[in-house]
Amino acid sequence: MAVKVTPRSEDYARWYTEIVQKADLADYAPVRGCMVIKPYGYALWENIKEGLDRRFKATGHANAYFPLFIPMSFLEKEAEHVEGFSPELAVVTVGGGKQLEEPLAVRPTSETIIGHMYAKWIQSYRDLPVLINQWANVIRWEMRTRLFLRTTEFLWQEGHTAHATAEEAMEETLLILDLYAELATEDAAMPVIKGRKSESEKFAGAVTSYTIEAMMGDRRALQAGTSHFLGQNFARAFDIQFLDENNELQYVWTTSWGMSTRMVGGVVMVHGDDQGLILPPRLAPIQVVVVPIWRDEEQKEAVLKAAAQVRAALEPEVRLKVDDREGLSPGWKFNDWEMRGVPLRIEIGPKDVEQGQVVLARRDRPGREGKTTVPVTGLAEAVRNMLDTLQADLYRRAEAFLKEHTAYPEDFEGLREAAADGFAYAWWCGSAECEAKVKEETSATIRCIPLDQGPGKGRCIVCGEEAAERAVFGRAY
């Protein structure tokens, strides 16, 4: 019997939570705002992690690890930084049964402690650039939480680099933005908009913040990854200086950037349907599930033998599972794997064995529409091709959805309507007052100022003053 979930059209937030739990991605922990990531959900995160880690190492970055506890005095050295994070801090004041001489913040992000270490490590221009990433957990005391999307504790990677010039640091910032967009589009089949954050939305302590913004299935925006040009703010706060080629003392230029387990929630919301997850093949923990179908012992022996042959043919190339569980009907198994979002199902029954064939069923096309009968000979190539096609089709479908719910309003009322239905590209004069008015009257924020602006100028959608840039407005998670 199929596991029922609340339809997306009825209550999207409830649908999301039910899918995350029933697909065995995560569950609530006993501590408010925290979650337990279950093995299937962690495997999905590991595939995202591997895709990022591979890209980081290919561009010269190395992994390291820094402490979870940060002296409060470190955070206070950069005024904008501590002000931005103070409402979310978890602070340790007692250790070993004694009051600590100095309170310790539980890592909300690591710019400060890494800045302290870089000041020790960097002495000369020969020490630059420093290109370090760490995989870690962070704590931010969130008031309103939702599994994967916003939790008190979450997993992420945070990169921290130091450079001799502003140009090199900015090049690094935009390189990482491109890597995030590549991971999103190529691996997660998730179209994104690359852009710059407004002053009010940028990272606390950054000179400029860049982001990739994605549209979820309820037409809300998700900030999927951010990359920050920190200028010399943290270098000055932590006295990170080096002797340049002219033997003159200079401050370094730094960057920081991060993508978190929020990306798992993004994959769920971009691709999922009322039957459960639909996972892009490149990220799916299980890419192919084989379901043998039999009625009696004689059929069982022949079908399981055929399933073993399919496993042998495919296992070197795809992440595969044979579901030979006893006492469960084929229909129950189909529903179970559909809930988990496995991209491709292979059905093998007695007639298939006799005819030397199998049935391939695509997760993104339920029912007869998604089924194809293929011969066992050449199965590996057919599976590879179908997974590639499915990956591309998921991206095209998400891209079409994004375009369908993106508008270019010409007046404020049009902006209000467009922001309620998705993204609104509109001219913006750059003033904080106009930005605040949009937020107050529409609940939409500036998601980013797209890097791809196109030619021309226009009039601010709010005040009518001349504007040189368009912004993307939308309601966000």
Helix (H) / strand (E) containing 139: strand 130-139
pLDDT tens, residue by residue, 43-79: 999 999 999 999 999 999 999 999 999 999 998 887 6
Which domains are present in the chain? 12-271 (3.30.930.10), 288-389 (3.40.50.800), 406-474 (3.30.110.30)
- Cβ contact 462:428 at 8 Å: yes
Which residues lie across from 62 on neighbouring strands?
A: 132
Helix (H) / strand (E) containing 113: helix 111-121
User: Phi first, then psi: what are they for 164, rounded to 5°?
Assistant: -80, -25
Other CB atoms within 10 Å distance of the CB of residue 208? 16
Cα separation, 416 vs 421, in Å, equals 9
For the chain, how many residues are written? Answer: 477
pLDDT of residue 393: 98
Cα separation, 246 vs 22, in Å, equals 62
pLDDT tens, residue by residue, 192-214: 999 999 999 999 999 999 999 99
pLDDT tens, N- to C-terminus, the chain (477 residues): 456 899 999 999 999 999 999 999 999 999 999 999 999 999 999 999 999 999 999 999 999 999 999 999 998 887 677 677 788 899 999 999 999 999 999 999 999 999 999 999 999 999 999 999 999 999 999 888 899 999 999 999 999 999 999 999 999 999 999 999 999 999 999 999 999 999 999 999 999 999 999 999 999 999 999 999 999 999 999 999 999 999 999 999 999 999 999 999 999 999 999 999 999 999 999 999 999 999 998 899 999 999 999 999 999 899 999 999 999 999 999 999 999 999 999 999 999 999 999 999 999 998 888 899 999 999 999 999 999 999 999 999 999 999 999 999 999 999 999 999 999 999 999 999 999 999 999 999 999 999 999 888 999 999 999 999 999 999 999
pTM: 0.96
Cα separation, 251 vs 253, in Å, equals 7
pLDDT of residue 1: 46
- Cβ contact 224:184 at 8 Å: yes
pLDDT of residue 3: 67
Other CB atoms within 10 Å distance of the CB of residue 182? 15
Torsion of the alpha carbons at 144, 146, 152 and 153, rounded to the nearest 10: -170
Cα separation, 174 vs 166, in Å, equals 12
**Is the peptide bond prior to 129 cis by the omega test (within 30 degrees of 0)?**
yes
3-class DSSP state of 47: helix
Cα separation, 123 vs 118, in Å, equals 9
